Amino acid sequence: DASLAEVNSFSPSVPISPSSMINQYKFEDEPELRDLFITVDDPESHITAIETFITYRVVTKTSRGEFDSSEYEVRRRYQDFLWLKSKLEEAHPTLIIPPLPEKFIMKGMVERFSDEFIETRRKALHKFLNRIADHPTLTFHEDFKVFLTAQAWELSSHKKQGPGLLSRVGQTVRAVASSVRGGVKNRPEVFTEMNDYMETFSQKINVLDKIAHRIYKEEREYFNEMKEYGPIHTLWSASEEDIADSLKGVASCIDKCCKATEKRMAGLSEHLLPVLHEYVLYTEILMGVSKRRDQIQGELDSKVDALANKKTEKDLFSEEIEKLEDKVECANNALKADWDRWKQNMQSDMRATFTHMAENNLRYYEE
């Protein structure tokens, strides 16, 4: 946050706009020089006898030594992104994995493969990969490297090496069973506070998301109505010679307002709605991470209780408890570090998003 002294220190000859102020502070938050750049573009439809699906081109440029080349180009479908997310969650259960766009269930195939839907998904997939690339731990995961570099047949072969369906089902059953047993007894205060924050954040971000969609819907209705009024005034001017110039002036004014409104709608749909929705999805991920941390804590608590009730096998239990204590400490440290990082990113994203929206509104009213 800027202090008044910092703001006033700007040269008075340079106009201070919200965006120029944002740019001043971006330098403080920027990480060290990046060595991995990823682009998701060029969606392509594929129609087979069994299914119709979209693939996206993923271009990677890097200067990292563990990569055999400095540039890669592969094609990936949505299911491949899902696989990557599940592998990262499996390997790092208490890290905050970025969200993927939902696999929307559409009424008809036309909507699902509309240009607007595909472009919205492409942007979300692009952000997903770049969030991982910017993460200090996830960026070096082997499956992420495979995802970026392997050809389709290589990726397919690599996927088959993962745990089988029964193994995954077993993990899910254990997780559910653990959560049903009851709350964690010895949860540190910091994680209770984290859960409280998540609940409040979830409520607020969902309200913001709904309000933003309502604003956009009302704006679109207003735009559609206004589009009809310009031509009406032009036609009217043809039959009213005395006020023809005034009516044409009103028609021209309405046309300018239409263009300004259209730009404002584009700003909402491109910069505000996607950011809010991404953080709506983040709330589910945060709850999942918290539950997985509690599950690890729960395993430790149950072993400690078992040790207290058993006179024999103390050495065996003590060894298991030591391992679980280490596991809990690793999980706690990982989540705490990632939590701080996530909050900083979220606050930076929100600040930039709402500043952009404010600037958009200023331009709109000026026009």
Q: Check residue 167 and give its pLDDT.
A: 46
- Rounded to whole angstroms, the Cα distance separating 202 from 286 reads 10
- Same domain? For 211 and 122 the reply is no
Q: Do residues 206 and 146 share a domain?
A: no
The CATH number assigned to the domain holding 42 equals: 3.30.1520.10
Q: Which of 109, 141, 157 is the last residue of a domain?
A: 157
- The answer to the question of residue 273 being in a domain is yes
307 part of a folded domain: yes
CA atoms within 13 A on the CB side of 93: 17
What is the distance between the alpha carbons of residues 39 and 57, in angstroms, rounded to a whole number?
A: 8
User: Low-confidence residues of the chain, pLDDT below 50?
Assistant: 1-31, 105-110, 164-170, 172-173, 176-181
Q: Is residue 163 part of a domain?
A: no
- Domain with residue 201: its CATH number is 1.20.1270.60
**Lookup: tokens for 18:** 């919200």
Pseudo-torsion of CA 299, 193, 89, 282, nearest 10°?
150
Residue at 143 is within a domain: yes
Closest CA relative to residue 87, chosen from 151, 153, 152, 141: 141
| Residues 211 and 359 placed together within one structural domain of the fold | yes
197 and 139 in one domain? no
Q: Are 289 and 94 in contact (CB under 8 A)?
A: yes
Give the Å distances, CA to CA, from 34 to 62, 147, 342.
9, 19, 18
According to the model, what pLDDT value does residue 24 have?
A: 43
Q: Do 216 and 356 reside in the same domain of the chain?
A: yes
Contact 74, 124 (CB under 8 A): no
Give me the pLDDT at residue 312, please. 52
Same domain, residue pair 98 and 193:
no
25 within a domain of the structure (yes/no): no
Domain end call among 114, 142, 157 = 157
pLDDT for res 187:
85
- How far, in Å, CA of 91 to CA of 157, rounded? 19
Confidence (pTM)? 0.79
Count CB-CB contacts under 10 A for residue 23.
Answer: 10
Distance CA 134, CA 37 (A): 9
In a domain, 349, yes or no: yes
Asked whether residue 295 is assigned to any structural domain, the reply reads yes
Pair 55, 77: CB distance under 8 Å: yes
Same domain? 259 vs 118: no
- Structurally, the chain folds into a number of domains equal to 2
What per-residue confidence (pLDDT) applies to 319? 75
Q: 152 and 186 share a domain?
A: no
Range of the domain at 277: 182-366
Q: Are residues 226 and 140 in the same domain?
A: no
Q: Is residue 283 part of a domain?
A: yes
Taking CA 273 as the corner, what is the angle to CA 267 and CA 274, rounded to the nearest 5 degrees? 105
Q: Rounded CA gap, 366 and 201, in Å?
A: 34
On whether both 197 and 327 belong to a single domain, the answer is yes
- Helix (H) or strand (E) segment spanning residue 74: strand 71-77
pLDDT at 116: 84
Residue 332, token pair as written in the block:
């706690």
